[in-house]
Chain A
Amino acid sequence: AQSVTQLGSHVSVSEGALVLLRCNYSSSVPPYLFWYVQYPNQGLQLLLKYTTGATLVKGINGFEAEFKKSETSFHLTKPSAHMSDAAEYFCAVSPSNDYKLSFGAGTTVTVRA
């Protein structure tokens, strides 16, 4: 079985500041890891994913995440926040032998001018 914990349901950052969203997972087999973004009343859009290979993954809109097996983490970062980054972000995990995704509870990001 797998599970996902996102630390902090709300994060507030100033425009231009670092965005850091934390995600820890548990999985009985090697995981595949995903970050999705959701704007109000819309569906989810993939930001990035890790399956195999390089542990630092770059995604859309300047986001990146690093898979750290020893820490069972997959934190999402962006060096400089933009007003358009205000949204809800979901971390998700699937075991490498199953297609079913388990989602975290989400983190809402607010960007202050």
Chain B
Amino acid sequence: DGGITQSPKYLFRKEGQNVTLSCEQNLNHDAMYWYRQDPGQGLRLIYYSQIVNDFQKGDIAEGYSVSREKKESFPLTVTSAQKNPTAFYLCASTKQGLAGDTQYFGPGTRLTVL
């Protein structure tokens, strides 16, 4: 089955640690996205990538970093500079990154900072 996988499902981090969230897709999609979801706030875009080896900051990129070395993979690192990282993180992809493309979402990773 084609789809998007995210791991781990739950992640606990101590303050001051960097953590990396995995996102893999086998849909052969060109574009990938990372969102952060907080209760009552909808989804906010962190980073997006329309092609391998290229990515752009979204609306809330501070304290996060990404890489896009392979078409299938778009890992997100939450750094110690992110002041309030506890949230639900969602990865998504679209076929070409064009207006109107349907975004397909992974199951999410819930990050908790202890």
Contact = CB atoms under 8 A, between A and B. Distances in A.
B48 to A, nearest CB: 8
Interface in B63-114: 88, 90, 92, 94, 97-108, 110
Given A9-B40, A105-B40, A99 B107 contact: no
Interface residues of B, number: 27
Given A42-B108, A45-B105, A105-B40, A32 B100 contact: yes
A43 B99 contact: no
Interface string B32-69: 00000000111111001000000000100000000000
Instruction: Tell me which of B43, B98, B104 has the highest count of chain A C-beta atoms within 10 A of its own C-beta.
Output: B43
A41 B108 contact: yes
B21 interface: no
Which bracket fits the contact residues of A?
20 to 34
Contacts of B107: 41-43
A34 to B, nearest CB: 8
B42 A90 contact: yes
Contact of B99 (A41, A44, A96, A104): A96
Contacts of B103: 44, 46, 101
A99 B102 contact: no
A49 B100 contact: yes
A98 interface: yes
Interface string A18-46: 00000000000000101010000111111
A104 to B, nearest CB: 6
Given A105-B40, A105-B41, A43 B100 contact: no
Interface of A: 4, 9, 32, 34, 36, 41-46, 49, 51, 90, 94-101, 103-106
